[in-house]
């Protein structure tokens, strides 16, 4: 067997939400716990990606720590998985430049995320010329950085949420272009998506749950207290029918809540099965059940997280980051030696 290398990343833009967890992070832990001894795992806090939108330095520094603490609190073991800040491994940026020189502008400009930024303001009206001029190059080219993140570690498997699948396709295109120009040195990654492909917003079940959404009630953050969870679930947008049924087409709000409960359900019941189980409840009673289930399933995480942040007075997270950066640099350097040689440096 060829050696398996698993890589993924998360932006330090606040404590991760339930969408991040169910769509990606949970899978990272599963992969770690089922990996054979020859599998290499790398999980990165991708701070270079975070600055495609301007950040406050103090806030960014704090968020980096919070996200690293989150990764450990969900069950990633820094002695098994390489946990590191992307900016501490310079080869990510170096390979990005190299890939930029064979990547296609046309392909990049067709990316949905870019197209939505280009054509729409938050209120969905088209951008004027002045606003277009304010769009930054890094926001356009960050899929190339994402491709470099993956390739620099010769990743074979990349566990991400479904919203990333177009970027992963672009990454494979980067491999093809580079290998065509310089020889077969880069490895084509396979995408792994989790069963929870897209977790939707609590305030609009047609939009994905996201860190960038202005309404904090739209997402459950992993550190939310039982009271905060209850408040958010109770105010989740449903419809005027005060009954429980699974009907994603006509009742997206309540169906989204049933999907959430299904992801937490230990006996693995589908949203539609749960819809029948709770069909005798009104929405308020059902929301209570969901918020209790959420509080319960996040309680171990919350305790772990606060323990790690408290221990951080002793600089535990710095220690993890330094150790991770050293291993990640070694991993990246193995690839960069081949790449520089192939190019003629
Ligand atoms: P965000 O999209 O909230 O800014 P990131 O871009 O840092 O978060 O994404 C980290 C991981 O979480 C990615 O693999 C992404 O696909 C996944 N993810 C983010 N939001 C969701 C969601 N609502 N449902 C499923 N997966 C998601
Ligand atoms: Na995302």
Provide ipTM, 2 decimals. 0.95
For residues 132 and 29, membership in a common domain is answered with: yes
Q: What is the pLDDT of residue 125?
A: 61
Is 208 among the domain residues?
Answer: no
Average pLDDT for residues 149-174, to the nearest whole number?
Answer: 96
> What CATH number did the domain enclosing 161 receive?
3.40.50.620
Q: Is the pLDDT of residue 116 over 90?
A: no
Q: What is the pLDDT of residue 122?
A: 53
**Residue with structure tokens 């600055």?**
51
Is 211 among the domain residues?
Answer: no
Q: Which region among 130-144, 149-163, 274-288 has the lowest average model confidence (pLDDT)? A: 130-144
Q: Is the pLDDT of residue 310 over 80?
A: yes
Nearest CA to ligand 1 atom 14: 160
| 198 within ligand 1 shell (Cβ under 6 A) | yes
Q: What is the 3-state secondary structure (H, E, C) of 145-180?
A: HHHHHHHCCCCCEEECCHHHHHHHHHHHHHHHHHHH
For residues 162 and 285, membership in a common domain is answered with: no
Give every CB contact of residue 131 below 8 A, 6+ residues apart in sequence: 121
Alpha helices in the chain (DSSP H): 18-20, 26-34, 47-50, 57-73, 91-100, 105-109, 112-119, 129-134, 137-151, 165-182, 226-234, 252-264, 271-277, 283-311, 316-343
For residues 74 and 190, membership in a common domain is answered with: yes
Which atom of ligand 1 lies closest to the CA of 10?
7
Q: How far apart are CA 313 and CA 300, in angstroms?
A: 21
| 18 within ligand 1 shell (Cβ under 6 A) | no
Considering the entire predicted model, what is its pTM? 0.94
CB 244 within 8 A of CB 250: no
Is 42 among the domain residues?
Answer: yes
Q: What is the pLDDT of residue 129?
A: 73
Q: Is the pLDDT of residue 296 over 70?
A: yes
Q: How far apart are CA 227 and CA 215, in angstroms?
A: 17
Q: What is the pLDDT of residue 1?
A: 47
Residue 124: band (very low, low, confident or very high) from pLDDT cuts 50, 70, 90:
low
- Give the three-class secondary structure for 41: strand
Which of 11, 14, 18, 20 maximizes ligand 1 atoms within 8 Å of its Cβ, making it the mutation to test the pocket?
Answer: 20
Average pLDDT for residues 224-247, to the nearest whole number?
Answer: 96
Q: Is the pLDDT of residue 27 over 80?
A: yes
For residues 168 and 276, membership in a common domain is answered with: no
Instruction: Give the Å distance between the CA of 25 and the centre of ligand 1.
Output: 9
For residues 145 and 231, membership in a common domain is answered with: no
Average pLDDT for residues 244-257, to the nearest whole number?
Answer: 96
Phi-psi region of 175 (alpha: psi -120 to 50; beta: other; left: phi over 0): alpha
The closest of 137, 127, 189 to 164, measured between CA atoms, is 189
For residues 24 and 143, membership in a common domain is answered with: yes
Q: What is the pLDDT of residue 162?
A: 92
Catalytic residues: 117, 208, 211
Is 182 among the domain residues?
Answer: yes
Which domain range does residue 325 map to? 5-198+315-343
Domain count, the chain: 2
10 Å CB burial of residue 268 (0-12, 13-18, 19+) is: exposed
Nearest CA to ligand 1 atom 4: 211
> What CATH number did the domain enclosing 267 receive?
1.10.240.10
| 163 within ligand 1 shell (Cβ under 6 A) | yes
- Pick the more confident residue, 327 or 136: 327
DSSP string, 185-212: -SPPPEEE--S---PBPSS-TTSB--TT
| 204 within ligand 1 shell (Cβ under 6 A) | no
For residues 188 and 227, membership in a common domain is answered with: no
| 49 within ligand 1 shell (Cβ under 6 A) | no
Average pLDDT for residues 48-67, to the nearest whole number?
Answer: 96
For residues 185 and 252, membership in a common domain is answered with: no
Average pLDDT for residues 124-139, to the nearest whole number?
Answer: 76
Which atom of ligand 1 lies closest to the CA of 211?
3
Q: What is the pLDDT of residues 184-235, one digit of tens each?
A: 999 999 999 988 889 999 999 999 999 888 899 999 999 999 999 999 999 9
Q: Give me the chain's average pLDDT, please.
A: 94
Q: What is the pLDDT of residue 314?
A: 72
Instruction: Give the Å distance between the CA of 147 and the centre of ligand 1.
Output: 17
For residues 118 and 234, membership in a common domain is answered with: no
For residues 292 and 191, membership in a common domain is answered with: no
Average pLDDT for residues 132-156, to the nearest whole number?
Answer: 93
The CB density around residue 85, as the number of other CB atoms within 10 Å, is 21
| 24 within ligand 1 shell (Cβ under 6 A) | yes
For residues 105 and 39, membership in a common domain is answered with: yes
Which of 7, 44, 86, 163 maximizes ligand 1 atoms within 8 Å of its Cβ, making it the mutation to test the pocket?
Answer: 163
For residues 264 and 321, membership in a common domain is answered with: no
Is 137 among the domain residues?
Answer: yes
Average pLDDT for residues 69-86, to the nearest whole number?
Answer: 98
Q: What is the pLDDT of residue 21?
A: 97
């Amino acid at each position: 067997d060829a050696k398996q290398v698993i890589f993924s990343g998360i932006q330090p833009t606040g404590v991760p939400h339930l969408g991040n967890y169910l769509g990606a992070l949970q899978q990272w832990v599963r992969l770690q716990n089922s990996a054979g001894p020859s599998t290499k795992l790398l999980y990165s806090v991708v701070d270079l990606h975070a600055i495609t939108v301007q950040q406050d330095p103090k806030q960014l520094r704090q968020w980096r720590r919070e996200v690293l603490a989150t990764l450990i609190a969900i069950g990633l073991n820094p002695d098994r998985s390489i946990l590191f800040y992307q900016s501490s491994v310079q080869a990510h940026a170096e390979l990005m430049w190299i890939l930029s020189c064979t990547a296609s502008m046309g392909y990049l400009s067709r990316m949905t995320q870019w197209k939505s930024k280009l054509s729409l303001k938050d209120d969905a009206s088209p951008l004027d010329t002045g606003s277009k001029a304010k769009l930054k190059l890094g926001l356009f080219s960050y899929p190339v950085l994402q491709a470099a993140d993956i390739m620099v570690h010769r990743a074979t498997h990349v566990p991400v949420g479904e919203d990333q699948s177009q970027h992963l396709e672009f990454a494979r295109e980067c491999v093809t272009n580079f290998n065509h120009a310089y020889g077969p040195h880069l490895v084509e990654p396979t995408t792994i998506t989790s069963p929870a492909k897209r977790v939707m917003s609590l305030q609009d079940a047609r939009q994905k749950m996201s860190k960038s959404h202005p309404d904090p009630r739209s997402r459950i953050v992993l550190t939310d207290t039982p009271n905060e969870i209850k408040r958010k679930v109770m105010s989740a947008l449903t419809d005027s029918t005060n009954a429980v049924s699974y009907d994603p087409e006509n009742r997206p709000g309540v169906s989204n809540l049933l999907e959430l409960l299904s992801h937490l359900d230990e006996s693995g019941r589908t949203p539609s099965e749960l819809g029948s189980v709770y069909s005798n409840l009104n929405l308020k009673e059902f929301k209570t059940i969901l918020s209790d289930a959420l509080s319960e399933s996040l309680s171990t995480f919350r305790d772990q997280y606060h323990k790690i942040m408290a221990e951080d007075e002793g600089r535990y997270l710095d220690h993890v980051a330094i150790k991770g950066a050293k291993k990640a640099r070694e991993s990246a350097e193995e690839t960069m030696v081949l790449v520089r040689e192939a190019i003629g440096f």
